[in-house]
Structure 1
Amino acid sequence: MTRNTFIALLSILAFSCASAPPKKDIQTGVDLPQTWKLDLQTETAIDSAWWNEFNDPKLNEILVQAFGQNFNLAIAAANLQTAAAQARIAGAPLFPQVDLSTNGARTKQNFIGLPIPGLEGGVLSSTVSSFGLAMNLSWELDLWGRLSADKSAAVAQVQASRADFIGARLSLAAQISKTWFTAIEAKRQVELSQATVENWRAARAQVKRRYESGLTSSLDYRLSLSNFAIAEANLASSQSQYETTLRQLETLLRQYPSASIAVSPELPEISSDVPAGLPADLLNRRPDLAAAERRVAATHAGVSSAKRALLPRISLTGSGGTSSNELGDLLKGDFSVWRIAGNILQPLFQGGRLRANVKLAKSQADIALLNYQQTALNAFAEVENSLASERYLNQRQTALEEATHQALAARNLAETQYGRGLIDFITMLETQRSAFETERLLLTVRRQRLEARINLYLALGGGFSVKNQSNQI
């Protein structure tokens, strides 16, 4: 268990017995279909550690490292701790406030102007010591539930922060996974560019021999020189992109960006089905929607608190202790003193502040509801887009695999025929370019399919479930 996760769990357990607003179904503002537009769903559930589906031990290793070191995740954990502390502060007024006080004083008094025999011309004085020990108690009775509403709102914010932390963790896993696969693709693009340079080096030598033998024109020779130079430029560009991606990955892992991290040699294959589920289920499967719903609940509790602030407040105060002129008598019962009092406060006129607070709370509740509905609509769009990408990228990869197979076969055939003088250089040049381009595109589409699957996992909640987030947190 990472340090950030441990901190988050401690913040949650601190409020395991606190009262939170119950979860309510909120209207999304749109009519939900029975199934997604692209009906690809299965009954498969998403694993909360969905990155295991890629069967890449190195990826799993760096994700564990990132969960314990990433700055953004640490910030999310700190936000959760902050919300937990605020909830504790909000709940404190529900309990009696008790404090202990002690005091001591020594006073000298002069009696001037009094005719005291024997002290003509002198001053009579008296020195008195006093000591006190008291325990003071104050307690506002929550008859109308205002203080409970404040605490309930704060606990709902803790739940929202917890969902934000889970969302930040899933987002970090997605960002690192995408960067990881981009780095693998970049490495494979470098290898492809190196192979292309060697291929053009051999082609240049072949054309040069034919040119020197008078079997081809200077145009073919210059074209071979040009394409070899282009291949070298592409190799430099691929190497730059590869190193840049490695530095991005190292930054996410809180390492110095030296572009020295080792990545897996190949992109993984996608074999599992699409665990889409049903549109209505999405509302309970995404941490951002769970956080938005908890913030709606918190604002409703805020409205309740603002309304109840218009009602009278009843408080009890009391104190008990001892008072004596001698320090040694403070613990003796004969010198005890006590006081108890009650207080009722009814707000009458505060310049409209309290009623304005009610309007403010209602406006905040309206904003929270609109944010929830917009978040839900965005979530549905993300799932539909991810499902569409999953389908069309799969079709594109299938087509490019066939295109690459045919292009490589055509290149080998063209190079053989050109060596025998059966075709011209332009034809061989075109087949070589086509082979390089289809291989390059195939690598890119394979990486895009992995990113699309990651986006789909995130769009579907990444294994998160509201059932796992207790309403008592």
Structure 2
Amino acid sequence: MIRRTGKLAAAGILAAALSACAVGPDHQRPDQEMGDHYRHAEGWVQVDAAAQAEMARDWWTTFSDARLDGLMAQLLRENLTLREAEARYRQAQAGLRGAQAGLFPTVGSNASATRSGGGDGEAGNRYSLSGNVSWEVDVWGRVRRNVEAGEASAQASAADLAATQLSLQSTLAQTYFRLLSLDAEKRLMEQTITAYERSLQMTENRYQAGVSAQTDVAASLSQLENARAQRLALERQRAVHENALAVLTGRPPSDFSLDETMRLGIVPVVPAGVPSQLLQRRPDIVAAERRVAEANARIGVAQAAWFPSLTLSAQGGYSSGQWAQWLSAPSQFWSLGPALALALFDGGARQASVDSARAAHEAQSAAYRQTVLTALREVEDYLVSLRVQEQEQATQARALEASRETLRLITNQYEAGMVDYLSVVQAQASALSAERTAISLQADRLVNSVQLITALGGGWDVSLLGQEPETSAP
């Protein structure tokens, strides 16, 4: 027995030494040119690393809006899309644990009692109780590559969860700011309708006094009704945005309402950083890179099929034809030893598996590089949009002031009988358009700020892959 145990130990040591290597290529992140700066960041506010680090995952707090903070908290607790992504992350974690189980031996037991007979009419009993241990020695690294693939898959799933959360938060913030802009436009339309009602009354009085034509009354009434129709359209759009916020926060639209507010929001300063930081801060980029690592590990798993598998097994127990002697020493049996298995011909199945794994790795590498390029484009787009919109807003402010002054002058001239009412209508339409454009530009800047923050990763970092998500499990 001592000699047999020594031989088994020696075999185990040899197997462990052989399993130190693993077939297949080691993972390397695909190269992708990033550039050392953003092209459209010229003139953009630059901040140091400490200030940039302050933009944590609660990035929406930079807008200093308590209602937005509350909606974000509801989203994290109740959003069903987020719960689905979290469940998929737990599924990937379970898959990893399943792959890791292959590193350990399998222990089993068996007990049986049978009665059998032959043609001579004699029958006999057989009682058996046994235990067995089996371990596939990972000589060629198939199991370890499988675990490596499982780890990469779980990390990709964690990054997917972070990307889903960031996308939902971004959608909520954008929807919220659009709703605020609709509130501002609605207030403007109500003020405009009040002014148009006064104009209609004045025009009717002038018509009755014989100073104005009936066409002026018709034009004033048409302008008023058009403004009322636009207000109704704004109410419809606001209801649609409110319903979207309800679903994002996991509530039925009939059970959700958001009071109108006088506040539109202030555009915050968003630190852009440098392009290379996107590789660590964009969860979709990290997820794509982890899938490249998973595909790379699958190549090793496929290549390991070309080599024989080594299994160490041991079995022992009791077997007897009589119940009274079942657990007695003479009824003991045991066996132990290694077993090698190798497929000699498979019609090219193993080579096809390797080729498929290599092609999958190439596809994931291309997808990763495309994800990086898309991320760079998004950041550049939002940087140039915000920079130009800031300039556009300054120009629009001057145009708005001019349109207000024009309307004041034209109204005075009309009351003095110097111009017809058509001139007043045109001036009022121009002023209303300028007012709505100013509101729209401010909303666009807020939305683009959210989009830029999202494109930069929303304060997320690859180091958060090892932490549990903040979402609440159902």
Q: Residues 251 and 328 (structure 1 numbering): CA distance in 2 closer, same or farther, change over 3 Å?
A: farther
| Count of residues paired in the alignment | 439
Secondary structure, in 3 states, of the residue corresponding to 1:37?
Answer: helix
Deviates more, 1:283-292 or 1:85-94: 85-94
Superposed, 1:74-473 pairs within 5 Å as: 74-107=83-116, 111=120, 128-258=124-254, 260-263=256-259, 265-325=261-321, 327=323, 335-470=331-466
Distance 1:289 1:384 in 2: 16
Deviates more, 1:171-180 or 1:64-73: 64-73
Question: 1:343: Cα distance to partner?
Answer: 1.0
Q: State the match for 1:62 in structure 2.
A: 71
Q: Residues 35 and 228 (structure 1 numbering): CA distance in 2 closer, same or farther, change over 3 Å?
A: closer
Question: 1:35: Cα distance to partner?
Answer: 4.1
Question: 1:260: Cα distance to partner?
Answer: 4.9
Distance 1:243 1:101 in 2: 66
Distance 1:37 1:262 in 2: 37
Secondary structure, in 3 states, of the residue corresponding to 1:26?
Answer: coil
Question: 1:105: Cα distance to partner?
Answer: 2.3
Q: Residues 443 and 271 (structure 1 numbering): CA distance in 2 closer, same or farther, change over 3 Å?
A: closer
Deviation per residue, 1:4-63 (Å, 9 max, x gap): xxxxxxxxxxxxxxxxx99744311x4624443332243342321111111111111121
Instruction: Point out where structure 2 has 5 or more consecutive residues left out of the alignment.
Output: 1-24, 470-474
Q: Residues 435 and 273 (structure 1 numbering): CA distance in 2 closer, same or farther, change over 3 Å?
A: same
Distance 1:269 1:23 in 2: 46
Q: Residues 283 and 111 (structure 1 numbering): CA distance in 2 closer, same or farther, change over 3 Å?
A: closer
Secondary structure, in 3 states, of the residue corresponding to 1:193?
Answer: helix
Secondary structure, in 3 states, of the residue corresponding to 1:469?
Answer: helix
Distance 1:186 1:272 in 2: 20
Q: Residues 25 and 106 (structure 1 numbering): CA distance in 2 closer, same or farther, change over 3 Å?
A: closer
Q: Residues 354 and 186 (structure 1 numbering): CA distance in 2 closer, same or farther, change over 3 Å?
A: same
Distance 2:161 2:320 in 1: 57
Deviates more, 1:275-284 or 1:329-338: 329-338
Q: TM-score, normalised by structure 2?
A: 0.86
Could you tell me which amino acid in structure 1 is paired with residue 68 of structure 2?
L
Question: 1:196: Cα distance to partner?
Answer: 1.5
- Aligned match for 1:38, one of 37, 41, 50: 41
Distance 2:68 2:403 in 1: 32
Question: 1:144: Cα distance to partner?
Answer: 1.2
Distance 1:300 1:257 in 2: 46
Q: TM-score, normalised by structure 1?
A: 0.86
Of Structure 1 and Structure 2, the greater helix share is in 2
Secondary structure, in 3 states, of the residue corresponding to 2:83?
Answer: helix
Deviation per residue, 1:74-104 (Å, 9 max, x gap): 2211221221122222222221111121111
> 1:53 and 2:62 equivalent?
yes
Question: 1:417: Cα distance to partner?
Answer: 4.5
Deviates more, 1:268-277 or 1:68-77: 268-277
Q: State the match for 2:31 in structure 1.
A: 27
Deviates more, 1:379-388 or 1:427-436: 427-436
Deviation per residue, 1:170-209 (Å, 9 max, x gap): 0000011111111122222222222221111110000010
Instruction: Point out where structure 1 has 5 or more consecutive residues left out of the alignment.
Output: 1-20, 113-124
Could you tell me which amino acid in structure 2 is paired with residue 55 of structure 1?
S
Question: 1:133: Cα distance to partner?
Answer: 1.5
Q: State the match for 1:118 in structure 2.
A: none
Distance 2:37 2:234 in 1: 46
Distance 1:25 1:298 in 2: 11
Question: 1:280: Cα distance to partner?
Answer: 1.6
Distance 2:246 2:454 in 1: 22
Q: Residues 263 and 172 (structure 1 numbering): CA distance in 2 closer, same or farther, change over 3 Å?
A: farther
Distance 1:406 1:332 in 2: 108
